[in-house]
Amino acid sequence: MKPANFFYVPAVAAAFSLTSCQEDLQPEIDRLNAELTDLQAELEDERARRSHEEKEADKLHDELADMKSELSQAQRDAKDFERQLAIYQEREEAARAAEEAKPDARELLAAAKEEAQQHAKAKVTIEGDANSGSGIVVATDDKHWIYLSPATLSGNSRLEITQASGTPLKKFGAFEIMEGGAVARLEITEEPDHAVPLATPSELSSSTRLLAFDDAGTLLEGRAYNVEDASMRVDSRIGALPVGTPVFLADSGDLIGILSAEAAAQATLWPSTYGSTRRQTHQCLRLDPKTTWSSLAIGGFLEEAKVLDETNQLTRLLATFAIVRPTSGGINFETTAGGGMSVKEVFAAHKDESAVRSMMDLDQWLKDKGDRAAPQDLNRRVKSVYSEIQRLSARQTKEFAEHSFSAYHAPAAKLAAEWRKKADEDIAKTVNSMD
């Protein structure tokens, strides 16, 4: 009989051998497990990347579909607009042709054109030292007036008014501005060569036909629309003519209105020559006897534009002073001030101003002194220059506040006051920052 541990010894040996083998293979198993883990991570990353790409592709596809839809809609809208425009043009031409086809309409239009041709003799040329333009002589009751755009007069200190015949007009009376300020009239106290009558009050509509002369004297036909009590729109043929052009009724040849740009005060402190301006759409202001007028002295009206110009000139100079930063190296005159102008250009335009001369002297003193200029001495000199222009502004602002302006210049005066207040505040901040 075999001993009790006969089988135990081989089993232990086998177990020991298996354990030893497993220990030998453990590093390889760990490496394979690590690789498996890395492969699983890479697989998850690839799945996430593909999922993201699929979402982006779906998004791009949706955006492309939206763009195609918008493009198709835009193309349909464009075709609809072209179709509607063609229909409108056909109807307008048909209406015009139908009206002209009537014998009485043709005769009436021919007579009105002939009357309007005669009215061209009432045109006057206005030459000023700042602005020029034209007007038309109108007969109202027992008086004669030159009707014109206020812009033709504004800013002038002298005027020369000549009739179509070449004969000058030299005797004038009252000066009046239409309510709202868009049209002016100047009374003539001598007998003019020719005058036109105003149209009697009548109901106008979008079918009302109009006549006007271009600068070459060619008679143009047009229509009214958006008719109101005091004004009406005119179509592009007449609306493209200069402000102040007289407009006549095509059924009588009587004067009904004058073209005027939609009222809009200068929107920027800096001159419009330094930036683009949008062309205003013309409207026709009605001049029938119901028009309300306000009387004022023509000298005062002409002075208003001068006051506004002088005020805004100093405001531009104040705004320029506010951005100047004197240093021990002098003043940087190439800094942009406004409207595309540099500090140097603004100062050159105001070279006769005492404050500008003082600033130029300060610049030279800084360059001579350089870093040797004591900070206290520098601040004292700089503040002295700024105080000079501040005193000038305070004096002019007081005078401006005491000045009254007509309806034509009132919007510009309001803006001028606002610009001055802002410039004064800015220069005060500049001075305070030196403490």
**What is the Cα–Cα distance from 280 to 260, expressed in whole angstroms?**
9
Q: What share of the chain is helix, strand, coil (3-state, %, to 5)?
A: 50, 20, 30
Mean pLDDT over residues 338-348, rounded?
Answer: 88
Task: Report yes or no on whether pTM surpasses 0.75.
Answer: no
For residue 334, CA distances in Å to 68, 343, 344 come to 51, 6, 6
12-29 tens-digit pLDDT: 555 556 566 667 778 888
What does the radius of gyration of the chain's CA atoms come to, in whole angstroms? 42
CA angle 152, 247, 98 (to 5 degrees): 155
Q: Which pLDDT value is given to residue 18?
A: 59
SS3 category, 283: strand
CA dist 263 → 100, 275, 285 (Å): 35, 19, 11
Query: Where is 146: in which H helix or E strand?
Result: strand 143-148
Taking the C-alpha atoms of residue 287 and residue 292, their distance in angstroms, rounded to an integer, is 9
Rounded (5°) CA angle 111-117-122: 130
Residue 7 has pLDDT above 60, yes or no: no
Point out which residues pair with 163 in neighbouring strands.
124
Confidence tier at 235 by pLDDT (50, 70, 90): confident
Nearest residue to 367 (alpha-carbon basis) of 412, 333, 402: 333
Q: What type of residue sits at position 386?
A: Y
Model confidence band, residue 388 (pLDDT cutoffs 50, 70, 90): very high
pLDDT band at residue 75 under the 50/70/90 scheme: confident
- In angstroms, the Cα distances linking 120 to 115, 191, 221, 253, 351 are 9, 17, 15, 11, 47
Q: Residue 290 in contact with residue 229, Cβ under 8 Å? A: yes
Element (H, E) at 248: strand 246-249
Q: Give CA–CA dist 346/341, Å, rounded.
A: 7
Which residues are CB-contacts of 414 (< 8 A; sequence separation ≥ 6)? 265
- Tell how many helices (H) and how many strands (E) occur in the chain: 9, 17
The contacts of residue 396 (CB under 8 Å, 6+ apart) are 310, 311, 314
- For the segment 127-156, the average pLDDT, to the nearest whole number, is 89
Q: What is the pLDDT of residue 265?
A: 45
Question: Residue type at 188?
Answer: I
How far apart (Å, rounded) are the C-alpha atoms in residues 42 and 55? 20
Residue whose C-alpha is closest to residue 148's, from 266, 312, 310, 301:
301
How many of the other CB atoms lie within 10 Å of CB of 11?
10
What pLDDT score does 170 carry? 93
State the pLDDT confidence band at 166, using cuts at 50, 70 and 90.
very high
Residue 419 and residue 266: Cα distance in Å, rounded? 12
